[in-house]
Structure 1
Amino acid sequence: MSVLAACRQIQAEHPHLREKYSRARKVVRAFKSPAFYEVTTKCNLKCEGCYYFEGGKTASIPARDRIDDWKKFFADEAARGVSMAYFVGAEPAMAPDRLMAAAEHFPYGNIGTNGTIRIDPSVQYRIGVSVWAGDDESDKQLRGGSVFRKALRNYAGDPRAIILLTVSSWTVDQIPRVAELCKDHGLPLTFNIFSPTHEFNRKLSISAPNDSDFFRVSSPLSSPKLDDAALERLRRAMNQAIEDFPETVIYSKSYNDYICQPGARYELDPETGIAMDCQSRIREPMRYFDVSLRPNPVKCGTPDVDCRTCRMYSGGWSSQFIPKPRDTASPEAFEGWLDSLETLGRIFLYSPADAGAAKAVA
């Protein structure tokens, strides 16, 4: 039986799942025509194993400076039918005029930021505020400076914001602390898993000396990478956080159990090692534009991350859009997949109308 036929059969036998399935399809439709936009090559932090600078190939590309060029570009992209705009780069908040130029054009947007600069309230898109630790010492070690408290203050109570905790082998035990801080600041919390770049792995493999940029403290004996034992510890810790902070943590046990399993999470090309079934791959209709405003044929939204050990939240969640045989193996598995898509929508999508309605109900 095909996966689609199994979806229909389960709904026929369990009618209460039809409404969930309808909501899941609505979430998926929001991502029907996505695009990535680098809006700046500047950043004010130096994160260990940085996804953008550590091995990245677009940081040296000259940017278009005229804001009128950006305004026209975003208008043209909206006319092309882009439904979901991802604003990436080094630190998008360092290009506020470009974010504001985009704000009126796309139905949904998602901005990845380190939270040190508050994005103008006129930009009504989901803001994923990246936090890497819950104490000053770990934050300095991982990011070159302790900034998580400032990020929490900048976005406290902001309905656009969701805290994205990138968990590493060094910070698994800090999950309860970060969840408590998010609760105190009126901010939802979700998780990303540290996924090394090819360049970071190369430096570890040759015991490269530490530098003052993006390989300051790691060594073959100690790094943020997660081995199988650390992944299992992480899986248990995130599942516990879902139970202990149900009003704060936006995550899915079904997804968590999948993404924390040992081994590659994708089917890999045996020659290139690139994931063939990751839905974050840059393939039509999805496009990736660098700061020159030209499409760039990178493999995905985080081009140098090693697909063999990638557990990035962007690729992992987007790969939930299409159900797999395991998702229709039973009514319980199917409902777990539907719950994952509902969670995906809460993590990535923000609508001012929905936020207003939720506030009114509260």
Structure 2
Amino acid sequence: DEVHDVAARLADAGCRMTFNVFSSPVGYQGPLRHDEKTLKLTRGAMIDLLNRYPQYVLFSVYNAVAHTSEAGLHELYGCSYPRCNPSQDIGLGRSFRQYRTDLNWDRSVACCVPDTDCADCRHYAAGSAVVTARLYRHVNRPDTFKSWLDYVDTYLAVWVTGYDKGKNLCERVIQPPVKG
């Protein structure tokens, strides 16, 4: 409810912003867990603020879609991290390591954000790896490809110091391409 006031204050101060979506921890069924209504409200607020403050909001419509769809990132794109990806081929399934406090590595929990309910994962960090790794799914339609480019551009602007985000190429809601 406060996001519009906070965004206005940040924009007035010349600050840039982006969004991260709560992802439920394993076993959590409390009131903060998203449902269809809260995901729709979250997406609407993200897109509204993106349109209202395009020079300050580091995001795209496709970012909003990817992180607020009823299905989580794993169901939409197939998670790249070892916890969900048993592949030993080149990529995160083989190379990602997350060491526990006892310095052991446990594939069954190896993830960018430990203890997240994979079915509800909407983390920005996860999307940065999972969505961007799925270029091949986004090349069949011009708007789908533009949306993927917007996602990558947003990722770079958030994580790479000195990288300036360009204008979003697709302002329409594009549903993520089906796994297959």
TM class, shorter-chain normalised?
A: 0.7 to 0.9
Give SS of 2:69's match.
Answer: coil
Distance 1:280 1:183, change over 3 A: farther
How many angstroms does 1:259 deviate by?
2.4
Corresponding residue for residue 94 of structure 2: 284
Instruction: Classify the secondary structure of the residue corresponding to 1:289.
Output: coil
- Structure 1 residue 177, shift from structure 2 partner: 1.3
Please tell me whether Structure 1 or Structure 2 has the larger radius of gyration of its CA atoms: 1
Task: Compute the displacement of 1:325 (Å).
Answer: 5.5
User: Pick from 313, 322, 328: which aligns with 2:133?
Assistant: 322
Paired residues in the alignment total: 153
Mapping 1:71-220, distance limit 5 Å = 173-201=1-29, 204=30
Question: Which residue identity is paired with 2:111?
Answer: C
Which residue does 1:208 correspond to in 2?
A: none
Distance 2:147 2:100 in 1: 36
Change in Cα spacing, 1:265 to 1:291, as seen in structure 2 (3 Å) is: closer
Measured after TM superposition, the shift of residue 331 of structure 1 is: 1.3
Q: How far apart, CA to CA, are the structure 2 residues paired with 1:191 and 1:348?
A: 13
* Aligned equivalent of 2:156: 345
**In the aligned structure 2, how far is the partner of 1:199 from the partner of 1:226?**
14
Quote how far apart the aligned CAs of 1:229 are: 1.3
Q: 1:263: how far off?
A: 2.5
Which runs of structure 2 are paired with 1:49-88 in the superposition (5 Å)? none
CA contact (8 A) 1:266 1:277 kept: yes
Aligned: 1:226 with 2:34: yes
CA contact (8 A) 1:242 1:251 kept: yes
Q: Whose strand proportion is higher, 1 or 2?
A: 1
Task: Find the residue that maps to 1:323 and give its secondary structure.
Answer: helix
Gaps of 5+ in 1: 1-172, 205-222, 269-275, 356-362
Q: Which has the higher contact order (CA 8 A, sep 6+)?
A: 2
RMSD: 2.5
Aligned mates of 1:193, 1:262 — CA distance in 2? 13
Q: Hey, what's the Cα distance between the residues in 2 that align with 1:182 and 1:284? A: 40
TM-score normalized by the length of structure 1:
0.39
Which whole-Å deviations, capped at 9, do the CAs of 1:5-63 have from their partners, x for residues lacking one?
A: xxxxxxxxxxxxxxxxxxxxxxxxxxxxxxxxxxxxxxxxxxxxxxxxxxxxxxxxxxx
TM-score by length of 2: 0.73
Which amino acid in 1 is paired with 2:38?
A
The one-letter code sitting in structure 2 at the alignment partner of 1:261 is: S
Identity %: 25
CA deviation after TM superposition for structure 1 residue 187, in Å: 2.3
- Unpaired runs of 5+ in structure 2? 83-91, 165-180
Amino acid at match of 1:181: R
